[in-house]
């Protein structure tokens, strides 16, 4: 394992922990965040395995409120995005093409274990292909270029609908609009703009209000066009019907307008300008034709190139990789048996670790999963860098262990 991986990740996390003045609190908080890498499945397991006071771990997690962690995450992410926006708008055409800025929004559900305060509820899980009892997390991030950099801009731990007539939380679409408006306001105050950027979102985030907001911000929305939406266009004369019917008819009666997708000889595509009544606007509908199937996507930019649309759709997989890191490598599903505020705090701390891992992957030109799996192989080195005693302390060189204040 390259020690540089672990040192880089800890230093990146330290930039988010610099407001904590007590070194012991910082030390315990970092240990709680990296529980999975210390081969522990819970904070109780961490305390018992490495002889750390469980009460002190809990006390350190309660030292800073979840709201402050969220604000910290959002502020740092927005500042990084503003720097990229300024460079992007000032660049020439080749620079803009290579460093295109895409905002991506999606959610993931992780099956819950034990008590999680009021955060646990029934949510749809794509991995399980059905409804599960778990945590639902939404993230808005910015992807620079083809994954050159991924910046987390906003996070929400979604509360389930109240069972006894309480106040309902924002739904996915309302949360996305609020987040985009707040981001746009911050960017404008800093003298930049979101104009020209794209929003790549899951089909669940496609609504007339969201489409209208992207147009207001002079952005372009790109997403899958759901099969249950009706469209009106020129397939064989004027035709109104569901998306699959329109796309299928257009493929049959207009085969001459089908073209091969650049870089993929097995996929053809058709472009149509259609009106979507449920979105109250015209969109560019692109049908990707495979051997025995076809998929339909849309863009609010009627002139967008097909290859650009396909790339924007692919950029959202960078966010899916963040979710994968959270679920499989960092162990967000291991959070259980905590009160509500502590659950929220631990989620934000895990997101900070995921951001640090993604930044490390960009710095070392490798996969975040490779970095995290390598770090997990040396739990004793992690303990040393955090300043905890270790059983195998004598096997490590003193020169390889930085002072505790630096690591913390």
Beta strands in 312-368 (DSSP E): none
| Residue of 206, 39, 235 lying closest to 106 (CA atoms) | 206
Q: Which pLDDT does position 165 carry in this prediction? A: 53
Per-position b or e across 248-266, b if 16+ CB within 10 A of its CB: bebbeeeeeeeeebeeeee
The arithmetic mean of pLDDT across residues 309-323, rounded, is 93
The owner of tokens 């490798």 is 366
Cβ atoms of 116 and 336 closer than 8 Å: yes
| CA pair distance 272, 302, nearest whole angstrom | 9
Q: Would you list the domain boundaries of the chain?
A: 3-67+319-407
| CA pair distance 407, 325, nearest whole angstrom | 23
Q: Over 50: is that where the pLDDT of 405 sits?
A: no
pLDDT in tens, 120-129: 888 888 777 8
pLDDT in tens, 28-39: 999 999 999 988
pLDDT in tens, 3-19: 588 999 999 998 888 77
Q: Which pLDDT does position 118 carry in this prediction? A: 82
Contacts by 258-265 with C-beta closer than 8 Å and gap 24+? 258/289, 261/288, 261/306, 261/307, 261/310, 262/307, 263/307
SS3 content of the chain, % helix, strand, coil (to 5): 50, 20, 30
| CA pair distance 36, 397, nearest whole angstrom | 24
The owner of tokens 């059983």 is 391
Q: Which pLDDT does position 251 carry in this prediction? A: 86
pLDDT in tens, 234-283: 876 688 899 999 998 888 888 777 888 887 778 889 999 999 999 999 99
């Amino acid at each position: 394992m390259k020690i540089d991986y672990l040192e880089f990740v800890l230093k990146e996390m330290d930039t988010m922990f610099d407001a904590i003045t007590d070194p012991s609190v910082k030390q315990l908080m970092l240990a709680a965040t990296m529980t999975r890498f210390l081969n522990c499945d819970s904070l109780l397991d961490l305390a018992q395995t490495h002889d750390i006071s469980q009460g002190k771990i809990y006390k350190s997690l309660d030292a800073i409120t979840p709201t402050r962690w969220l604000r910290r995450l959002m502020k740092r992410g927005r500042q990084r995005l503003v720097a990229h926006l300024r460079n992007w708008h000032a660049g020439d055409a080749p620079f803009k093409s290579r460093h295109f800025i895409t905002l991506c929004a999606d959610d993931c559900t992780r099956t819950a274990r034990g008590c999680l305060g009021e955060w646990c509820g029934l949510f749809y899980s794509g991995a399980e292909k059905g409804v599960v009892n778990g945590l639902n997390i939404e993230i808005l991030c910015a992807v620079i270029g083809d994954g050159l950099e991924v910046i987390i801009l906003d996070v929400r731990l979604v509360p389930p609908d109240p069972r006894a007539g309480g106040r309902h939380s924002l739904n996915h679409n309302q949360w996305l609009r609020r987040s985009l408006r707040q981001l746009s306001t911050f960017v404008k105050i800093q003298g930049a703009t979101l104009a020209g950027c794209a929003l790549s979102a899951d089909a669940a985030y496609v609504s007339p209000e969201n489409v209208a907001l992207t147009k207001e911000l002079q952005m372009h929305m790109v997403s899958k066009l759901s099969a249950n939406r009706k469209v009106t266009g020129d397939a064989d004369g004027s035709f109104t019907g569901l998306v699959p019917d329109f796309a299928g008819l257009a493929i049959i009666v207009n085969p001459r307008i089908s073209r091969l997708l650049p870089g993929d000889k097995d996929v053809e595509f058709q472009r149509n300008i259609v009106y979507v009544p449920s979105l109250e606007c015209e969109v560019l509908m692109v049908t990707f034709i495979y051997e025995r199937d076809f998929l339909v996507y849309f863009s609010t930019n009627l002139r967008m190139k097909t290859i650009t649309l396909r790339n924007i759709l692919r950029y959202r997989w960078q966010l899916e990789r963040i979710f994968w890191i959270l679920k499989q490598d960092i162990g967000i599903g291991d959070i259980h048996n905590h009160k509500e505020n502590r659950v929220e705090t631990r989620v934000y701390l895990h997101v900070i670790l995921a951001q640090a891992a993604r930044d490390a992957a960009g710095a070392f030109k490798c996969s975040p999963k490779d970095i995290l799996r390598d770090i997990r192989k040396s739990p004793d080195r992690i303990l040393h860098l955090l300043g905890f005693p270790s059983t195998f302390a004598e096997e490590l060189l003193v020169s390889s262990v930085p002072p505790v204040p630096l690591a913390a």
